[in-house]
Structure formats: C-alpha cells, structure tokens
Structure 1
C-alpha cells in the first residue's frame, strides 16, 4: 500500500511540476541568450558596457539610499505610534 501511495504521489508531483520545469527551461534558455549577447557586446564595445554598468551602479545606489531613508522614516513613525499607544 505504501509503495502504491508513494508511486501515486510521485506521478502527481511529476504531472504538477512538468509545466514549471518547462518554464524553467525557457528562462534558462533566455538567460543563456542574454549572456551570449552581453559577451558579444563586451567584445565589441567594452567601454559601452562599462559605462552602462557604471550607470546601473549609480542608479542602484540611489535606490539603496531611498530604501534606507524610507526604512528610517517608517521606523520613526512606528516608534511614535507605539509611544502614543502607551499614553
């Protein structure tokens, strides 16, 4: 009985996970193509890739600062709310 149950569960899992596996394969293929394109771009114009990476890094830093600011602001608001609740 346990073997039959395990076999049924295994078949059900395989059936349910098959579409996910297909999607993973599609994403993997797209990532591979992107890597190839980036390699080609880097070989053709390394300066362009470096400037793009520099720009992305700057934008990520700006986002990081925005998130930190928002976190601090939210923390202060939570602290104030907590103090008001305790009054």
Structure 2
C-alpha cells in the first residue's frame, strides 16, 4: 500500500459532480491520489445530488460559480485560494 503522503495531490474541478452518477471517477482517482473536488453548489436549476454515494478519502468543497448553467463560460471565484491552499500537483 502506498503511503498517503507520497500520493500526488489533485484538485478535481468539475460541474458534472453535481450528479451522483459521475462521482465514480472521483472514487477511483482517490484510490491513487489525494483528491479534493471543487463542485458548484448548483448547476442551472439542478442542485447537488446527495453525497451519500461518495465513500473514500476524497474531500469535496462547494463553490458558487458565476454563470452556472452555461457550459462554455463559468468561473469559480476563490479558485486561486483553493490552488494556493492545497498546493495540488495536478
């Protein structure tokens, strides 16, 4: 088993994670990396589905994106502090 401190740190930014079915990627990735996910509080009219299906060491942070619901233009205020705070490798 790999020591947790030797695993790469990953900041996973994804609007798709508001839907629980898309969290399998996050679970799989968290077996090989220290993962923090940045997820919008809502996307368009859709609210985040319950996190009950998420197990494992991945941490999820919720942010309120600007222009949520617009697939090609949305911004996450505070993304810079998330990058600075966690110091992700990827």
TM-score past 0.5 threshold: no
* TM-score, structure 2 normalization: 0.16
Query: Higher helix proportion, which one?
Result: 1
TM-score by length of 1: 0.16
Task: Identify, as 1 or 2, the structure richer in strand.
Answer: 2
Higher relative CO (Cα under 8 Å, sequence separation at least 6) belongs to 2
